[in-house]
């Protein structure tokens, strides 16, 4: 739990730094956006566009980062470069996580592999997943303890972690988040899944099971 608290504290520090640089985290309004599907359909290299969507994935490469951003219509890869954005703006990326809603301005280009990509000139956080993760992690501990009590008497050496690595999916059609974790040893496995309403940020369904891998 100490490590979790440190991560939470670091998240607050990063958000405070963003504010000190004049960037309003979770600013809400981001007008004048175009649908990603229409942008990709009428793709034109060098064209300046504005999009807003949810971060579905992120990949960091030193002084650059890629994110997959999805709106109601489509998904597109966005590209952040430190030497292009500047030190402060690039540093702000530390406070951005999968599930956050982000607004992006940038220019379109094709990667070497031919993928349609948006190079970011500026960005703004619109909402975050932080509060949802807090709710999930608290409920997870209760479920984790119940599952562990079932597994231990069966001779399994599986010890369910207090700090799971969540796989997070966002279902835009149904406006819900899906959090899943799969933990296992040679004999047993445990699956825990949370369904969260993206609008109310409340858990709507929980699925949990432990099972013998020979079954």
72 and 167 housed in the same domain: no
Q: What is the pLDDT of residue 31?
A: 79
pLDDT at 178: 86
| Domain housing 7 | 2-127
CA distance to 4, 100, 173, 196, per residue, from 139 (Å): 15, 21, 25, 12
Q: How many domains, the chain? A: 2
Q: Judge if 13 and 99 occupy the same domain.
A: yes
Q: What is the pLDDT of residue 88?
A: 85
Place of tokens 């479920």: 143
Q: Which of 127, 149, 182 is the last residue of a domain?
A: 127
32 and 85: one domain?
yes
Domain match, 72 and 101 both:
yes
Q: What is the pLDDT of residue 61?
A: 87
* DSSP annotation string for 117-134: EEEEEEEEEEE-SHHHHH
Q: What is the CATH number of the domain that holds 157?
A: 3.10.450
Rounded distance, CA 199 to CA 209, Å? Answer: 27
> Do 105 and 198 sit in the same domain of this protein?
no
Judge if 123 and 157 occupy the same domain. Answer: no
- Given this model, what pLDDT does residue 1 score? 47
123 and 146 housed in the same domain: no
Contact 139, 206 (CB under 8 A): yes
Do 118 and 33 fall within a single domain?
yes
If one counts every other C-beta atom within 10 angstroms of the C-beta of residue 46, the result is 8
Kindly state whether residues 134 and 99 are assigned to the same domain: no
Q: What is the mean pLDDT of each run of 10 residues along the chain (215 residues)?
A: 57 69 62 91 97 88 93 93 91 81 93 96 78 85 89 80 81 74 86 85 89 69
Tokens of 4: 């979790």
| 137 and 107 in a common domain | no
Q: Are residues 138 and 119 in the same domain?
A: no
3-state secondary structure of 37: helix
**Domain boundary pick from 88, 103, 127:** 127
Which pLDDT value is given to residue 53? 86
With a CB cutoff of 8 Å and minimum separation 6, the contacts of 176 are: 170, 195, 196, 197, 198, 204
Cα distance between residue 147 and residue 36, in whole Å:
42
User: Which strand ranges, in their side-by-side order, compose the sheet holding 167-171?
Assistant: 167-171, 176-184, 188-197, 203-212
Instruction: Pick the last residue of a domain from 127, 153, 170.
Output: 127
């Amino acid at each position: 739990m100490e490590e979790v608290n440190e991560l939470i504290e670091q998240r607050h520090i990063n958000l405070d730094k963003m504010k000190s640089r004049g960037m309003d985290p979770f600013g809400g309004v981001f007008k004048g956006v175009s649908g990603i599907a229409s942008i990709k359909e009428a793709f034109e290299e060098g064209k300046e566009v504005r999009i807003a969507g949810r971060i579905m994935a992120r990949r960091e490469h030193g002084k650059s980062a890629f994110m997959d951003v999805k709106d109601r219509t489509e998904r597109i890869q966005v590209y952040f470069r430190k030497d292009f954005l500047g030190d402060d703006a690039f540093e702000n990326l530390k406070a951005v996580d999968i599930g956050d809603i982000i607004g992006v301005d940038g220019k379109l280009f094709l990667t070497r592999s031919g993928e349609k990509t948006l190079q970011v000139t500026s960005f703004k956080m619109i909402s975050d997943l932080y509060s949802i993760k807090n709710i999930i992690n608290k409920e997870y501990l209760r479920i984790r303890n119940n599952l562990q009590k079932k597994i231990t008497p069966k001779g399994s050496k599986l010890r369910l972690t207090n700090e799971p690595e969540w796989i997070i999916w966002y279902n835009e059609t149904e406006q819900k988040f899906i959090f899943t974790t799969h933990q296992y040893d040679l004999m047993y496995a445990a699956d825990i899944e949370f369904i969260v309403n993206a609008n109310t940020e409340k858990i709507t369904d929980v699925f949990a099971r432990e099972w013998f891998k020979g079954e």
